[in-house]
Amino acid sequence: MNESAREHALKVTLLRRSQLWKNAADRTRRLAGKKTDDAADAIFVADDYRMLAHDVAKVRRLLPDSRAREYLETAYAQAHASLHRPAWHPGSALLSLFRDEIPAVVRWLRPHIVWATALFILTVITGYSMVHTYPDLIALFASPELIATVERGQLWTEGLLNVVPSSVLSLQILTNNIVVSLFAYCAGFLFGLGTLYILGLNGLMLGAVFAFTSLHGLGNDLFTFVVAHGCVEISVMCLSGAAGAAVGEALIRPGAATRAESFRRAALQSGKLILACALLLVGSGLIEGYVSPNPVFPLWTRLAIGVSYWLFMIVLLTGWLFGARRRGKAPPSLP
Amino acid sequence: MDLTKGLVVDSVTGVDVALPIAGPGARSFAFIIDWHIRTILTVAWYVVAAMLHNRSLYVNAPLTPDSAWFVYVIAPPAAIYFLYHPVWEVATRGHTPGKRMAGVQIVSTEGGAPSVGSLLARNVFRLVDSFPIAYAVGLITTMVTRHHVRIGDLAAGTLLVYVHDGAPLTGYSADRLAGNQLDATTAEVVSELLQRWETLDNTARRRMAQTILADTTEDDAILRARLESLGTGGPS
């Protein structure tokens, strides 16, 4: 048999198997679409995968530009994806996330959290000093309406609930805070500079506004307004900044991995913390909508709420809430 | 299929899995379809809810909006618009209606279904990709990166590949092939020609049939019958 005849015979043999390919593709599609509970289908997929791999190798050589190849490549890729799809258990995945993974991320980000917090405190002090020394500089940080209100001896938060209901206020605040938190994280993509900017700007604004209200004898009132929700809100801002800084550092100092791989790892790991931050901001938004503007709550109640919620944040981020320490299980360390 | 242009994934079988990567065109097409769907849903919800709230055909916000206005009229459409992608992608592990219509799917760089964390991360980074307007950053990134990915995909370790769920397989007549009367490539051409016969222009299909059959017959019906008898049996 000459080479051409041999090749033709091989092609014929290969194409005679087209019904097998169709059966394999149908089985994979049924399993992928969860349209079958048939155990036989699942058992057959492993055999189908081997058979398709064998035929893909042949068709690539014998019929490289054919429809048969396109069909086989697709069927093979689908079988590969079906076989390699990890089991999906949302309950245990969530438990593992909050009990093991987020505490591990917090430990990994500890230096970044320290630096982000230090930067935030520094900018708060700077903002406070600037406006305390030169009150006119408040125009850089606050709107004219806010300045006019404070100069009249009132806080802009007074009577807030007469204008907007608590539910709406909460929704607006938590949405805004979550967006700022996500921005602080994503801005790390600009080699950490975006994160520094967001952290720094927020710190300056907080310090400046506190200084301005203090100058008009409203500092205590502002503290009373802020303390219930602010403990966690400000902490979350620092945590988001730390996550963004980690993303930025991964780009600046990728280490042994490529820059893209390092960025991917840092973004995925620190993203878990952002999820926890978003959940904490929902609680913060509710407190800011229902407790902070309501004059019924005295200072000690607000302090108790603020400190309790901050402790809850610590318990959540360390995994203690889900029994990480009780079980004596050390959370896995990050690479 | 050119393996050098796709994602090649190692397999335990020793035969690589080749996945054709979707470029900026397919991605944009999918996005535009999704954008239309979510915009229509958002506007529809707002209009209907606003009319029900106002008890008239007037859809503007009242002068002093109450809680119900925000909870039933504003919040749901905002959620539909901003959570459309993450919810669809997580629920279907990498699909949206637009991606299905464009024939693309999100996969991890290992070729499998992406994790929930990856899907959420790629959506969070839309904040960067959508800068400054109309996803300019994302679009430019898909044009300059090797795997045509946006920044969200870089962060999540995902990419978009083409899926051909309905890729047809030509009906090969083993007897004809074995009898050396028809090679595999010709069988595919004949099958495709017969499949598209009714939609092709008369002159064009006659010219192609004459070329394949090496026949000068002008009658369409005869040419079609001869093609069918050539042994493909039409598409299966």
Per-residue pLDDT tens digits for A169-189: 888 888 899 999 999 999 998
CB-CB contact of A184 with A237 (8 Å): yes
Partner residue opposite B67 with nearest CB, options A165, A189, A272: A165
Compute how many other C-beta atoms are within 10 angstroms of the C-beta atom of residue A29.
16
Among A123, A156, A319, A278, smallest CA distance to A225 is for: A156
Q: What is the Cα–Cα distance from A25 to B101, expressed in whole angstroms?
A: 20
Confidence of residue A105 (pLDDT cuts 50, 70, 90): very high
Strand partners, A74: none
Question: Do B184 and A15 lie within an 8 Å CB cutoff?
Answer: yes
The DSSP bridge pattern shows strands B17-19 and B7-9 to be antiparallel
Question: Do A66 and B70 lie within an 8 Å CB cutoff?
Answer: no
Q: What is the Cα–Cα distance from A43 to A139, expressed in whole angstroms?
A: 71
Question: Do B156 and A57 lie within an 8 Å CB cutoff?
Answer: no
Task: Write down the mean pLDDT value for chain B.
Answer: 87
Position B179 scores a pLDDT of: 63
Question: Do A77 and B168 lie within an 8 Å CB cutoff?
Answer: no
Question: Do B169 and A12 lie within an 8 Å CB cutoff?
Answer: no
Per-residue pLDDT tens digits for A261-292: 999 999 999 999 999 999 999 999 999 999 99
Question: Do B156 and A268 lie within an 8 Å CB cutoff?
Answer: yes
User: In the structure encoding, which two tokens stand for residue A112, read together?
Assistant: 């970044």
What is the nearest CA distance from B216 to chain A, expressed in angstroms? 28
Mutation for testing the B interface, residue in A29, A67, A94 having most B CBs under 10 Å: A67
Give the residue from chain B lying closest to A69, CA to CA. Answer: B1
What is the nearest CA distance from B175 to chain A, expressed in angstroms? 9
Q: What is the Cα–Cα distance from B4 to A112, expressed in whole angstroms?
A: 40
What is the nearest CA distance from A272 to chain B, expressed in angstroms? 7
Q: What is the Cα–Cα distance from A149 to B69, expressed in whole angstroms?
A: 28
Partner residue opposite B13 with nearest CB, options A53, A70, A263: A53
Per-residue pLDDT tens digits for A35-90: 666 777 778 888 999 999 999 999 999 888 888 888 898 889 888 888 888 777 88
Residues 6+ apart with CB under 8 A from A144: none
Q: What is the Cα–Cα distance from B47 to B60, expressed in whole angstroms?
A: 9
Give the residue from chain A lying closest to B192, CA to CA. Answer: A67
Question: Do B120 and A182 lie within an 8 Å CB cutoff?
Answer: no
Per-residue pLDDT tens digits for A120-155: 999 999 999 999 999 999 999 999 999 999 999 999
CA A228 to chain centre: 24
Indicate the burial class of A328 (C-beta count within 10 angstroms; 0-12, 13-18, 19 or more): exposed
